[in-house]
A and B are shown apart, each in its own frame.
Chain A
Amino acid sequence: MLQGIGASKGIAMAPVLLLKEEKITISEINIESAEKEIERFKNAIEMSKVQLEKIMKLAEKKMGKEKAEIFGAHLLVLADPELVNTVENGIKSEGKNAEFILDRTIKTFVQIFESMDNEYMRERAADINDVGGRLLKNLLGLEMVNISQLDKEVIIVAHDLAPSDTAQMDKEKVLGFITDIGGRTSHTAIMARSLEIPAIVGLGDITSNVSNGDFVIINGETGEVLINPSENQISQYKEKQREYLEYRAKLMELKDKATETLDGKHVELGANIGTPKDLGGVLNNGAEGIGLYRTEFLYMDRSSLPTEDEQYEAYKAVLEGMEGKPVVIRTLDIGGDKEIPYLNLPKEMNPFLGYRALRICLDKTEIFKTQLRALLRASIFGNLKIMYPMVSGIQEVRQANTILEEVKAELDAKGVQYSKEFEVGIMIEIPTAALTSDILAKEVDFFSIGTNDLIQYSTAVDRMNQNIAHLYTPYHPGVLRMIKMVIENGHKEGIWVGMCGEAAGELPLIPLLLGMGLDEFSMSATSILPARELISKLTTERAKEITEKALSLVTSEEIEQYLNTVIK
């Protein structure tokens, strides 16, 4: 049995589908018939073309035309006369096998693109490599793993999963994910919770420990993985699975109930989403609002900026879908660590401390204004709250609000309608924002504490760095003190304070946050009902006691231990 980090609850059992980059060995062979080689090459091209066309069609259906465009580009590379002629001529003039000539040709083109100044061009090298790899595999007759069309239920095993992997996935057949690296807040974890399937991350080298065809049982709560279990173990886990499903069914009874403490205090439980497609899960899990709509998914995995209308449609869909319940939409929050090649962002040594999010928006104001215009136009369809990310001080808020006023004036001049009642707030994720939250509270309508990054910045720990990931903890007394300060400063100015970091959904932290007076907790949809159940069993009196006790403890470990015993 292997142990990893439980990232999404639930139990699944299925055969493994291993996503691993296979090392291909190319041999240089002298061939007799150049004609035959060229024939083989042409067949491989045709095969690749058919595969890519299929994938593109599927991608169009699942992700929309924009995101499927990348496969159109791959098809163009396949058809490129430069590529085809160079390989054919090479085969003819050198009398070598197609694989050898193709491999060399691809490497040459990849090198050309990789050495270009422009980041967008360097990214295209990856595309050429991709297509080349596909061509080679088809030539060699190697099987290719196509996760967009699965014929049976599987558990996906990978080193890590990127947004583009999960976007293509045949979601009906994927019962769970397990990965080598990552933590509770990595993309794999967030995606799994959004799909409501179990996931375990940080297993170290699971990709070397299983092969396709192995059968695994995974427990997303405990982080346990069993490879090729015995009959006994299988029936054991089937029982646990049944219990878990019963428990979830019981929780469903709380779906339409308001979130209230035992003594009747109301707090709001919201969901964090990435796209309008997440709405189903949000409503199914009884969310009282959306505490965070991450708009960067609109900007990722495409070759150009999303237009104002594209954005407007997405925001409108979410606002309408939530039927008047509050929706907090965060303005563009990306940086050098995310793939947005068409923005030509400079390569930075420290992207997390770099030119990102609001900083980009205040500099490239056209991008910001387009998003704000789309948001304002959509505001008439629901209860909109705009949130600025990555605020380090009051100046940025004032600058952003000035631009917002300009956008309003422009819309007024054109007679375009927008709601006059939307709120404007900020994320508190940078330590100086927490420390000056008394100043900030005077000029915004709400705070939402972004614990994921607040913890990173204040404890100086990269949560993706496996060597030090254990230092990343929301239970750090320093972090808890900041949270308390932010809530108190917010309330002093009469604004509401919420939390949209993953910490908001961590059951042991909920009594503590409740005791500090947090007004809104936004989390993955699947965490909402367990949170509602827990809150319904607490009084505000008891919550305050718990907070006081926890804040008197000195180490993260003690605090975490104490809070875990409290919720039992």
Chain B
Amino acid sequence: MVEKKIVVANKTGLHARPAALLVQTASKFSSDVLIVKGDTEVNAKSIMGIMALGAGQGTELTIKISGADEDQALAAILELFDNNFGE
């Protein structure tokens, strides 16, 4: 299992296109990808889950991944956040 804390930096937060990008990226990997905000844990492959999380700019999140390709998955997802989802 790999885990990393990040802060949502892009302006629109995890809504709309960023949410879609996250789901599309996470879904490419076989590992289970979870996003944790406070007490809530959602499946990063679920668009409704990500949107329901309501993670705006400045929200602190933990990414938890476990599975065969967990390292690649984490790298790909971190890249998204680092690039502010292209905004």
Which residues on A are within 8 Å of B, measured CB to CB? 69, 72-73, 76-77, 79-83, 109, 112-113, 116, 118, 120-121, 124, 128, 303-304, 342
Give Cα distance in the complex from A304 to B16, angstroms.
8
Q: How far is the CB of B40 from chain A (nearest CB, A)?
A: 12
The A-B contact count (CB < 8 A) is 53
Q: How far is the CB of A551 from chain B (nearest CB, A)?
A: 53
Residues 35-87 (chain B) with a chain A CB within 8 angstroms: 43, 45-49, 51-52, 54
Which among B20, B43, B48 is the interface contact of A128 at CB below 8 angstroms? Answer: B48
Give Cα distance in the complex from A72 to B20, angstroms.
8
Q: Are the C-beta atoms of A83 and B48 separated by less than 8 Å? A: yes
A80 in contact with B48 given A118-B54, A121-B54 (CB within 8 Å): yes
Task: Enumerate chain A residues within 8 angstroms of B12, measured Cβ to Cβ.
Answer: 304, 342
Task: Enumerate chain A residues within 8 angstroms of B43, measured Cβ to Cβ.
Answer: 81-82
Q: Are the C-beta atoms of A82 and B20 separated by less than 8 Å? A: no
Q: Are the C-beta atoms of A109 and B48 separated by less than 8 Å? A: yes
Q: How far is the CB of A491 from chain B (nearest CB, A)?
A: 47
Q: Are the C-beta atoms of A76 and B47 separated by less than 8 Å? A: yes
Q: Are the C-beta atoms of B52 and A80 separated by less than 8 Å? A: no
Q: Are the C-beta atoms of B17 and A69 separated by less than 8 Å? A: yes
Task: Enumerate chain A residues within 8 angstroms of B49, measured Cβ to Cβ.
Answer: 80, 82
Task: Enumerate chain B residues within 8 angstroms of A303, measured Cβ to Cβ.
Answer: 15-17
Give Cα distance in the complex from A351 to B27, angstroms.
41
Among A76, A81, A83, the most chain B Cβ lie within 10 Å of the Cβ of: A76
Give Cα distance in the complex from A303 to B52, angstroms.
17
Task: Enumerate chain A residues within 8 angstroms of B51, measured Cβ to Cβ.
Answer: 113, 121, 124
Give Cα distance in the complex from A141 to B46, angstroms.
27
Task: Enumerate chain B residues within 8 angstroms of A124, measured Cβ to Cβ.
Answer: 51
Q: Are the C-beta atoms of B54 and A116 separated by less than 8 Å? A: yes
Give Cα distance in the complex from A113 to B52, angstroms.
7
Q: Are the C-beta atoms of B17 and A304 separated by less than 8 Å? A: yes
Q: How far is the CB of B83 from chain A (nearest CB, A)?
A: 16
- B23 beta carbon closer than 8 Å to chain A: yes
- B30 beta carbon closer than 8 Å to chain A: no
Task: Enumerate chain B residues within 8 angstroms of A112, measured Cβ to Cβ.
Answer: 52
Closest Cβ neighbor of B87 among chain A residues: A304
Task: Enumerate chain A residues within 8 angstroms of B20, measured Cβ to Cβ.
Answer: 69, 72-73, 76
Task: Enumerate chain B residues within 8 angstroms of A82, measured Cβ to Cβ.
Answer: 43, 46, 48-49
Task: Enumerate chain B residues within 8 angstroms of A79, measured Cβ to Cβ.
Answer: 27, 47
Closest Cβ neighbor of B23 among chain A residues: A76
Task: Enumerate chain B residues within 8 angstroms of A83, measured Cβ to Cβ.
Answer: 46, 48
Closest Cβ neighbor of B24 among chain A residues: A76
**Interchain Cβ contacts under 8 Å between A and B, 17 examples:** A73-B16, A76-B20, A76-B23, A76-B24, A77-B47, A77-B48, A79-B27, A79-B47, A80-B49, A82-B43, A83-B48, A112-B52, A121-B15, A121-B52, A128-B48, A303-B15, A342-B12
A81 in contact with B46 given A76-B23, A76-B24, A113-B52 (CB within 8 Å): yes
Q: Are the C-beta atoms of A80 and B54 separated by less than 8 Å? A: no
Give Cα distance in the complex from A80 to B42, angstroms.
12
Give Cα distance in the complex from A303 to B13, angstroms.
13
Give Cα distance in the complex from A72 to B19, angstroms.
12
Among B23, B43, B46, B49, the most chain A Cβ lie within 10 Å of the Cβ of: B46
Q: How far is the CB of B79 from chain A (nearest CB, A)?
A: 20
Task: Enumerate chain A residues within 8 angstroms of B15, measured Cβ to Cβ.
Answer: 120-121, 303, 342
Q: How far is the CB of B20 from chain A (nearest CB, A)?
A: 6
Q: How far is the CB of A348 from chain B (nearest CB, A)?
A: 22
